[in-house]
């Protein structure tokens, strides 16, 4: 079986690799390229081998997973050493036309995954730029197995998805800092108890959301008239929490658009 290569094997690549291993993907068919010693030793520890020139004719897909500033250089390296490579770019902000300015002889897919792929709970946006249908379907199948894949209609939608979903886990981690601080006091600084409490709360929220009920109904089931929840929600509304949150997302989307101009 031909192998897949992660060019850049940091945060997102490792999440995907761990997700693939947990769904039974054969480790021997995953390779990586990364200059970072810490990432190299971690991947070695989990049994993932480094790409070398002996693999050159046995590669199916490259997952480009370096930071935007490094993306075009890494892409150039792939194109210099492989004829008509199949590249899945996980890089935020870098548009297809920037890759095509380096080489047109590529099958290119853009993908925007989340680190929750590690737990089979990823959400990955996909946009097929110039890939054959079988290769695109294969990539879609991989990301569906790691959670869910959403196929976009236009490449520009990648920026909206990046700011909304790609960055999404960090927004929730950020909001949880308020819970963590307060729970630490209640739970006598027992960090494990606090982590368990936060994770139970989020899992409960996730199951309610999965029930497909309307969000206002879900709120109404928690908030009783003149009760504590209603008081909390009233304060959130007065302080425009939703529009502040929405503005943050708009800023992230704008940033995704800017990144391409900086590389």
Ligand X SMILES: NC(=O)c1ccc[n+]([C@@H]2O[C@H](COP(=O)([O-])OP(=O)(O)OC[C@H]3O[C@@H](n4cnc5c(N)ncnc54)[C@H](OP(=O)(O)O)[C@@H]3O)[C@@H](O)[C@H]2O)c1
Residues that bind ligand X (CB under 6 A): 8, 10-13, 33-36, 39, 65-68, 70, 73-74, 90-92, 112-115, 166
CA 202 remoteness from chain centre = 19
CA 101, 104, 107, 112: dihedral to nearest 10 degrees? 10
Q: Which two tokens stand for residue 211?
A: 């029930």
**CB-wise, 77 or 190, nearer to ligand X?**
77
Rank residues 106 and 259 by Cβ distance to ligand X and give the closer one. 259
CB of 14 to ligand X, least distance (A): 7
Residue number, 48 or 92, with CB nearest to ligand X: 92
Cβ of residue 94: shortest distance to ligand X, in angstroms?
A: 8
| Least CB distance to ligand X at residue 111 (A) | 8
Min separation Cβ 125 and ligand X, Å: 9
The distance of closest approach from Cβ of residue 228 to ligand X in the complex, given in angstroms and rounded to an integer, is 35
Q: Which residue is nearest to ligand X (CB)?
A: 10
Least Cβ distance, residue 2 to ligand X (angstroms):
21
| Of residues 94 and 194, the one with the C-beta less far from ligand X | 94
- Secondary structure of the chain as H, E, C letters: CCEEEEECCCHHHHHHHHHHHHCCCCHHHEEEECCCHHHHHHHHHCCCEECCHHHHHHEEEEEECCCHHHHHHHHHHHHHHCCCCEEEECCCCCCHHHHHCCCCCCEEEEEECCHHHHHCCEEEEEEECCCCHHHHHHHHHHHHHCEEEEECCCCCHHHHHHHHHHCHHHHHHHHHHHHHHHHHHHCCCCHHHHHHHHHHHHHHHHHHHHCCCCHHHHHHHHCCCCCHHHHHHHHHHHCCHHHHHHHHHHHHHHHHHHHHHHC
Nearer to ligand X, 117 or 194 (CB): 117
Which residue number, 113 or 145, has a Cβ lying nearer to ligand X?
Answer: 113
Nearest distance from residue 110's CB to ligand X, in Å?
10
d(CA 90, CA 27): 20
Residue 73 or 206: the one with the smaller Cβ distance to ligand X is: 73
């Amino acid at each position: 079986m031909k192998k897949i290569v992660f060019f850049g094997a940091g945060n997102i690549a490792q999440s995907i690799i761990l997700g693939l291993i947990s769904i039974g993907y054969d480790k021997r068919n995953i390779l990586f390229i990364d200059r970072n010693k810490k990432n190299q030793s971690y991947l070695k520890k989990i049994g993932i081998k480094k790409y070398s020139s002996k693999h050159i004719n046995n590669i199916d897909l490259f997952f480009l997973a370096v930071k935007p500033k490094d993306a075009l250089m890494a892409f150039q390296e792939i194109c210099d050493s492989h004829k008509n490579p199949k590249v899945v770019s996980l890089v935020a902000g870098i548009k297809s036309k920037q890759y095509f300015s380096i080489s047109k002889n590529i099958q290119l897919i853009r993908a925007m995954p989340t680190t929750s792929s590690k737990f089979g709970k990823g959400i990955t946006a996909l946009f097929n730029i110039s890939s054959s249908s079988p290769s695109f379907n294969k990539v879609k199948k991989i990301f569906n197995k790691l959670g869910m894949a959403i196929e976009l209609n236009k490449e520009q939608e990648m920026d909206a998805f990046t700011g909304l979903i790609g960055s999404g886990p960090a927004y929730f981690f950020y909001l949880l800092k308020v819970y963590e601080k307060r729970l630490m006091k209640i739970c006598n600084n027992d960090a494990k108890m606090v982590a368990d409490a936060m994770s139970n709360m989020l899992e409960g929220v996730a199951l309610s959301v999965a029930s497909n009920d309307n969000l206002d109904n879900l709120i109404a089931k928690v908030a009783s008239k003149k009760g504590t929840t209603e008081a909390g929600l009233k304060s959130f509304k007065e302080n425009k929490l939703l529009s502040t949150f929405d503005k943050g997302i708009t800023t992230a989307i704008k940033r995704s658009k800017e990144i391409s101009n900086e590389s």
